[in-house]
Amino acid sequence: MNQLRGKAWKFGDDIDTDAIIPARYLNTSDPRELAAHCMEDADPSFAGRVQPGDVIVAGKNFGCGSSREHAPIAIKAAGVSCVIAASFARIFYRNAFNIGLPIFESPEAAAKIQEGDEVAVDVESGTITNLTRNEQYRATPVPPFMQEIIAAGGLINYVARRLNG
């Protein structure tokens, strides 16, 4: 999982957890059901058009609002390979890693990547390449131990693997 690649879906600043997965769908924790409503209040067509590997690109404070883990679960279950944003709400940042969703903080990438651009992300180095515009941006690299959590599919799987040897 060193390289992620997909089409960019662009969102603005302060996309809160209610925009990612509206509260009316929180009566389930089934990832497939959450995926069917992912980003519904921000872009009603998103869940029906997103393709496996696609990338969400957003402005500052992505994932603000409640602490619900449903938000990163919905994004991951929708097939999104990663989220690139200018900044993340702190609780979303932690929840994303806990469930194994790679996220990358890069104000430059968030500003320059446009909807529909083809984007590649090198997970180890934090290099983001906009293949459409032939540009590169730097993201804060994900520390190796957090890369291991992502590779394991989240914190629970990571801990279980470590305990089982």
Q: Residue 57: what pLDDT?
A: 98
Which residues lie below 8 Å from residue 151, measured CB to CB, with a gap of 6+?
1, 100
pLDDT in tens, 26-66: 898 899 999 999 999 999 999 999 999 999 999 999 999 98
Structure tokens at 29: 């924790």
Indicate the pLDDT class of residue 105, thresholds 50, 70 and 90.
very high
* Residue tagged 């984007």 (tokens): 119
Q: Is the pLDDT of residue 1 over 80?
A: no
CA angle (36 as vertex; 107, 9 as ends), nearest 5: 25
Q: Is the pLDDT of residue 111 over 80?
A: yes
Structure tokens at 108: 């430059």
Reduced DSSP (H G I as helix, E B as strand, rest coil) percent helix, strand, coil of the chain, to 5: 35, 20, 45
- Residue 128 amino acid letter: I
Task: Supply the pTM of this predicted model.
Answer: 0.95
